[in-house]
């Protein structure tokens, strides 16, 4: 399904205590498939209670480069108003750090 030039990284964070994600999964996870040739996010999925949340989160990330932290964080802050907004940003940043360590960038 994914090219041999892709890798998978996961970021984790805590969602707010009143969030259904926290009640079901205990933590918030976001998994990213990244093209290692150009750092483009090819696919993403996160722990969410509703499918529409996963679809929307995908629209925020897919096609962007994981190295473009400021632009992605701005898009999340301007467009994603779910209770797990901060958790999504933290999970993304954690995954980005892992990826940069792997790629030595």
**CATH number for the domain including 32?**
3.90.1010.10
Q: What is the pTM of this model?
A: 0.88
Phi, psi of 42 (to 5 degrees): -90, -35
Domain count, the chain: 1
The count of residues in the chain is 105
Structural domain boundaries, residue 23: 6-100
Question: Does 52 fall in a domain?
Answer: yes
- Indicate the helix (H) or strand (E) that contains 46: strand 40-46
The structure tokens listed for 81 are: 């108003």
Task: Return per-residue pLDDT of the chain as tens, 105 residues.
Answer: 899 999 999 999 986 665 555 555 578 899 999 999 999 999 999 988 789 999 999 999 999 999 999 999 999 999 999 988 999 999 999 999 999 999 998
Question: Does 105 fall in a domain?
Answer: no
Question: Does 62 fall in a domain?
Answer: yes
């Amino acid at each position: 399904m994914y090219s041999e030039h892709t890798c998978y990284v996961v970021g984790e964070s805590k969602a707010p205590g009143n969030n259904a994600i926290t009640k079901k999964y205990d933590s918030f996870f976001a998994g990213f498939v990244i093209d290692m040739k150009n750092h483009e996010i090819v696919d993403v999925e996160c722990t969410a209670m509703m499918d529409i949340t996963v679809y929307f989160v995908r629209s925020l990330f897919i096609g962007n480069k994981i190295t473009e932290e400021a632009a992605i964080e701005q898009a999340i802050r301007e467009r994603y108003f779910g209770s797990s907004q901060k958790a999504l940003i933290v999970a993304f940043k954690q995954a980005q750090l892992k990826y940069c360590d792997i790629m030595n960038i």
